[in-house]
């Protein structure tokens, strides 16, 4: 049984694979101050809640964009599962050519998502949009190579900046307003943030498609469902994309795994 863990700036996603099938999965809030024992006890408890004992886990793979938490989760794997995890990094085998000018600058999460998108939602060209802390766009060309992409502030970050810097604008729930032309300040903020991000997404996707010659668009991340409901630009939402990418990387890199 394989434990796959994707550590993001806001959310940690963990899932279990058995015989190539995804079983239980969980999303946790990323806490930079939590210790390895705390994370370990939490993961072990989640496994037991699914009636799975930790000693059934015989492989682990970790992707991390929060440097301070990588050694924490390596310690979790060693202490609680007696495993050295496969860690996604610039030297790991991915089966995908990285055509970024400086490949070591590409976030591990971007490569993991790209690998999964190509295998699960191909054929290429493909565009992956990860609606997380940042809204990240990644392009895979017709040859299946990773080209690069675009990074914009995430929906949550943009909203927090607005509330922090505009003293007369009260914090509101980021729900879909009844209309684009807001009749109240709350509706106006909701329209500007939600529909504004739809416009941003549609605009960047259109530019990517023009350069790629088309492409299917895969959405993932916390805001993917809400944004995808407002646009035809996103063809499919796959909230487990990173876990499937981690499975493929583990299969290519773990000793003794075909």
- SS3 category, 75: helix
Residues 6+ apart with CB under 8 A from 127: 137, 138, 139, 140, 205, 208, 209, 212, 215, 216, 217, 218
Token digits for 124?
Answer: 């290429």
Please give the Cα distance from 46 to 80 (Å, whole number): 13
C-alpha triplet 29, 31, 37: angle, nearest 5°? 105
What is the distance between the terminal CA atoms of the chain, rounded to a whole angstrom? 15
- What contacts 24+ positions apart, CB below 8 Å, involve 160-165? 162/189, 162/193
- Whether 233 contacts 18, CB under 8 Å: no
Please give the Cα distance from 96 to 100 (Å, whole number): 12
Query: Catalytic site residues?
Result: 109
């Amino acid at each position: 049984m394989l434990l796959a863990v994707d550590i993001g700036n806001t959310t940690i996603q963990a899932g279990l694979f058995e015989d190539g099938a995804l079983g239980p999965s969980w999303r946790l809030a990323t806490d930079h101050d939590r210790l390895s024992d705390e994370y370990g006890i939490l993961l072990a408890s989640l496994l037991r809640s699914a009636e799975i004992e930790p000693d059934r886990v015989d492989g682990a793979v970790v992707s991390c964009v929060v440097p301070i938490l990588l050694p924490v989760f390596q310690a979790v794997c060693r202490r609680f599962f007696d495993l050295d995890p496969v860690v996604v990094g610039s030297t790991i085998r991915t089966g995908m050519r990285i055509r970024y000018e400086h490949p070591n600058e590409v976030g591990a999460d971007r490569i993991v998502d790209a690998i999964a998108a190509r295998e699960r939602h191909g054929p290429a060209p493909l565009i992956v949009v990860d609606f997380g802390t940042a809204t990240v766009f990644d392009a895979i060309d017709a040859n299946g190579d990773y080209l690069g992409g675009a990074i914009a502030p995430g929906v949550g970050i943009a909203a927090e900046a607005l509330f922090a810097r505009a003293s007369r604008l009260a914090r509101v729930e980021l729900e879909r307003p009844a209309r684009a032309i807001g009749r109240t300040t709350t509706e106006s903020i909701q329209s500007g943030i939600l529909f504004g991000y739809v416009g941003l997404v549609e605009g960047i996707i259109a530019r990517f498609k023009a350069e790629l010659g088309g492409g299917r668009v895969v959405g993932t991340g916390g805001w993917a469902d809400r944004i995808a409901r407002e646009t035809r630009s996103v063809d499919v939402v796959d909230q487990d994309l990173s876990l499937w990418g981690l499975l493929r990387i583990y299969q290519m890199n773990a000793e003794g795994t075909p």
